[in-house]
Chain A
């Protein structure tokens, strides 16, 4: 086996995505470490995360499943199934972001403003960490919409699954990241 064959195994763009994910992990590792440091201070007010976040957890896990199935259909060249599942994933992604906003509202209703002078860092952290994660999901949703439109409008047939696989990797990643963040903020 020649060296060049060996190297072709992982597409450079796929690889780039993996390194980018490591980078995003570091960003959230920074924030959650800051959370731990800050929590040790006085004036930290504990509060429970509203139950809405359980629903958003369910939604995003479901969207990972549909994402997975849509890639499978793409590889099997079942294009209408692929498009339907991709669309469903997009909708679930949007639903997740909406649910997050509802969750933020519930926290504020519970007397814990996220930002502003009467806010407590415990709530501000939730706002920033979940908010930043939400932005990453939103970025994914935009990419999904582009893929979706391309599947409909594009008159050029696409056979390479690299693009959609990279999308899948990213999507499962934001899902996993959410599960980590949710566990972290619920039980830390």
Chain B
């Protein structure tokens, strides 16, 4: 093979109390897609940030054979390394076009050429297959679109190295295909691409080689074609994966239990058309549909995060008027939002405080929890969800993306809700933890908790749900019991396939 563009040797990164990386070697060659694999907290994002100068690592980094040490992401960018970091890192207050070209706007006589900026942004958006107005404000778009915009920003400059840290976590199948098409074009032009994803399918589809990390150490470098999935998973976990098999048929028969939640004609203009929905205690109802089909919007109505403008809601036999999440919480409804950065977690608080927050809120501030109870609770959930590092005093923002997601989930579990609405609870979570969460959902249901489960992965929805509600174009189009992926797909495609 040719010379590597990026050659990292003996990279170590240490945070107070955590050795995030220890002596990791990593090579990236021109014209390859290289997948960086590992469990949540294995150190993938940290390795990326060590390369781009966000963190200061010890060890040696060579770029095109020359030793480099970047003092910030700006310098790495100038040296030809374009990065999309794991959490969408754009400014929601600016327009799409501004975000794409921020810091490298076309200028005429030293001043920004607004027209050229929009034109250039429009070209890039078109290339990504995104039909949105470049002059629109970024925050008005759903996360998937924001993620695509972040990618458009990364490919807006000529780069030799393109780094994508979990770019597909909120994209639907069509968008992923489009992204992969672009990645292949770039790869064939000789760009070296570093790709992180927890979707094994995607990794096998797109990558040429992979590097596996475990607990901050290098496990090995492999050719994708020569590594079986099972070997990959055991390389990542360091053990055989038994939970996954156990889970195959989790669906449990729901006896005719009491209806816990009944929505009649519930709807909101521009979000979801009026729908009827019943959820029984101990039942898992899956919501399936494409991005933007209204599945998140439906969930938000059930929690009062958005106000319904038609229909009624009945909970536990009594009518429930939701003016906001507060009524929902005190009635016993929990909601794990898809946008953990904006809505779920308080980044500066510790794992412990985040866990206790929701519980304390539901008890009211006048009845404080004793320290003992808190510690016990926190310990229990940290162990149950395998949150790492298992030190409850770590601030959330220092946790890896997947572990943040687990804390968010734990936060609601702590309150022992009667109904739990989970919007993409397994996004950005590794295979092992994903199986754990699915299992947890099944266990909750067995204990009598009703669960509304949303996920972009149909296999997952079908596997955990007793009933699957399919949404299309902001409308509930089907309700399926004991279904399979093909049937759900057919309903999702529905009108479109016929048209």
A and B: real partners?
Answer: no
A interface residue numbers (CB < 8 A to B): none
